[in-house]
Structure 1
């Protein structure tokens, strides 16, 4: 095997593609299921290299029995080897159809792999089944009575396995409205919703997390609304004052309504005022978990223009919320500071194509509410030794960089123009890329030349052309007689 490995390494890609399909792999498969750990590892590595040189459909058609045996192995790497090849196949345009026509036993085994003790194996199996659900034929097969019975047997093995199945079903229903219909008719979504009625807080938290994922797509959101599930979750939120256990569910409930508000901010704030009240109140809570979720939610809702307009309608409440974000970026813990900077960035950033006088007046008003001297505060954070804080502050600068009022503010700040062009302020790759993104935003803005002047714009363009990791080379001249 060592000699074979060396030989294969010497072949270029095309030569390997020409050779691999003509090789007999029986001996390698025998070693793969042997007892010598080194042989198992080496044979697996060689098989992986050879499989990658073959067409996925060829691998499935020629080695489906070996792949099926591999999925039933006790070894996690061997299972992963088989699952990876199946995943390669179903990811191709006709791959799902070929598997359903010739190798349905592999799909059945994928369902059983959801219950595997190794989470990595289960996750790969879920990805494969989700890919199959992208086609009409795949949906019909996945939700056929026979396979569905196997899936429901798998669900009964444990709470953990049951939630893996929920995860798989939620992944599939997000694919399309048609997929949602199949998932709804099979009864598993109803079973998921029924988990809310129990008294196990951890189970309820997981359930709400799954429902939030459903709400992250438009057709899923409409389904939950039609089924009365959105109203049920709001009722749970309203009882948080009287039921102390609901407090543990509050972050998940807020995240759910935040997902809804991302699509339909007007409707959520009009139909579910309780949600808005809870989010704004939690911005000042000392509980870092609840505060963090509230900060994230404000950022998610305010990331779109429609969300900005809805938040602006909240008046003084929203201005106070921005002030809370401004306080959060200056006080520990660091995680809250980072999340608050991200939320401020979301509230301020506006695409050039979406900039109107009303929207720009809102972002300017919110920025001025962040702090008594907001630009000084943000620039001071850009110069802190903590990378994530610096990058968060640079993101805020970037959100100002394509709005004329923001550009004027930046231009009036002494030394900032030179700071943006000074590469020595960032040593880390992420920091260099973040500063480069600020420069790119300035270059792409049509008002930069008017605000900063043509000479500075040319310097920005030169910085952009050189790339984020440019290093100026300094020539050294040796003088005769020097020591």
Structure 2
């Protein structure tokens, strides 16, 4: 408290002793209490007090103190210059280990959004969180992952301080939930170039490979396998060549999931396979596996034909990702399709059904009475129609294009949008005659939600 504040409070006390001054003094105190200081003023004028409150035994007090600092960071990080307030930010960083989740989350948010010059000191002092509970460690890792993703320099700083190595060591923990949390954080780190390079060059992926190979011998392996499959899928999606060429063993975990008979694991495997194969590079890497991959494609097709609703939907979406070429952000949508992709996607689609043909089977699935299956089927049809061979197959199935152009069929709005996108893809196809193309153009002009009933009402009102 400043001398000026002390003097003001002394004067208040003196005035309150005299009855004739009491009303005026109480009004002055009320106005003082109602005064709302500008953002940052409390921290600037009462820095020592704020630091004390950040360490207060009552969580409600700590919440109030950290809220003031959070306001400064949100509105203008420059309100609290790093050289002058570095000790405040050090205390905040240590609060990632706070037992109160509200305080800890605010500490994570603030610490992850500081200027670069704060981190050498802040990260060094935050290491105290690694000495406490698994929750505290995960909070510290959260900060590290968030800031490491911003630049190579920040990643190097975190690595030099031992955070990344410490995270890797926690994969040996007996706490399954904790291990899965660490794995998820590592997967977020691995999608960045600096992250994957570190994991590959420092033996981290070799360690993960050893853990994966040993999972069948781990009593808790069934609980861990889904998390490791997701990790494999995440890094293989972003770096398929590197993972397929250097760490093929970890991919076995994914393909084996199709044979284990565990429904939960199967659904995860379907999502991950589709995620890997959604890019062109991912497709080419998958096909390089040869027979192993083609057997898996056959299994996905069997799941589409013979499974219950949830599995069928996930399998259809997986198949759509494998066939699609529009979802790859690295490939221009108007550019030519690699002829290898054209050949292999056509071959994969043939696996869907032999009798009836794959396209006839897909046509029938698009008519399924269950809306979620129908939507997934339209997603696959959209992927197929991204290829000329797909347009030709649609044209060959009698009545299919008429069904697509029929607005009397009841669809959800989401299905109407997907169907509309399919029809737009067919608008310039050489597989249809002029009359059909004219009807397609009319459909496109009317939009996805046009209704004949609306048209009839409009005409009646005009009459």
Partner of 2:350: 368
1:127, 1:458 → 2: CA distance? Answer: 56
Please point out which of 255, 264, 285 is paired with 1:280: 255
* Gap regions ≥5 residues in structure 2: 1-28, 327-332
Which of 162, 177, 182 is matched with 1:187 structurally? 162
Map of 2:179 onto structure 1: 204
Aligned 8 A contact 1:323 1:371 in 2: no
The correspondence for 1:126, drawn from 108, 117, 137, is: 108
Match of 2:325 among 326, 331, 350: 350
Equivalent-residue separation in structure 1 for 2:456 and 2:46 (angstroms): 58
Q: C-alpha separation between the residues in 2 aligned to 1:27 and 1:329?
A: 71
Return the offset for 1:315.
Answer: 2.4
User: How far apart are 1:168 and its partner, in Å?
Assistant: 2.0
Worse overlay, 152-161 or 227-236: 152-161
Equivalent residues, number: 414
**1:432/1:64 CA distance change after superposition, 3 Å:** farther
Question: What's the offset of the Cα at 1:235?
Answer: 0.9
What is the CA-CA distance between 1:322 and the residue it aligns to? Answer: 1.0
Deviation of 1:190 after TM superposition, in Å, equals: 1.8
- Which residue is 1:143 aligned to? 120
Aligned equivalents of 1:110, 1:29: Cα separation in 2: 29
1:304 aligns with 2:279: yes
Pairs within 5 Å for 1:17-416: 60-61=39-40, 74=60, 85-86=71-72, 88-89=74-75, 95-100=76-81, 107=89, 111=93, 114-115=96-97, 122-123=104-105, 125-132=107-114, 138-144=115-121, 147-148=122-123, 150-332=125-307, 334-351=309-326, 352=333, 353-372=335-354, 373-416=357-400
The question of whether the paired residues in 1 share the 8 Å contact of 2:43 and 2:69 is answered with no
Deviation at 1:107, TM superposition (A): 4.6
> Could you list the per-position Cα deviations for residues 199-224 of structure 1 after superposition, in whole angstroms to 9, with x for gaps in the alignment?
33333222222222221222211111
Q: Secondary structure at the match of 1:449?
A: coil
How far apart in 2 are the matches of 1:369 and 1:477?
51
Partners of 1:167 and 1:191 lie apart in 2 by 13
Distance 1:157 1:409, change over 3 A: same
SS at match of 2:398: coil
**Residue deviations 1:381-431, cap 9 Å, x none?**
323343332222111111111210001111222232233333443543322
Q: What TM-score, normalized to structure 2? A: 0.76
Q: 1:361 to 1:474 in 2, by over 3 A?
A: same
Change beyond 3 A, Cα 1:432–1:408: same
User: Per the alignment, in what secondary structure is the counterpart of residue 351 of structure 2?
Assistant: helix
Computing the radius of gyration from Cα coordinates, the structure with the larger value is 2
Q: Point out the more displaced range, 72-81 or 468-477.
A: 72-81
Which residue in 2 is equivalent to 1:18?
none
Q: Distance in 1 between matches of 2:268 and 2:201?
A: 26
Aligned to 1:23: none
C-alpha separation in 1, matches of 2:416 and 2:151: 39
Residue number in structure 1 paired with 2:6: none
Shift, 1:434, TM fit: 2.4
Provide the C-alpha distance between the structure 1 equivalents of 2:396 and 2:32, rounded to a whole number of angstroms: 70
Match of 1:469 in 2: 449
What SS is found at the alignment partner of 1:450?
A: coil
TM-score by length of 1: 0.73
1:226: Cα distance to partner?
1.0
- Match for 1:451 among 431, 441, 452? 431
Give the alignment of 1:420-435 within 5 angstroms: 420-435=404-419
The alignment yields a C-alpha RMSD, in angstroms, of: 3.7
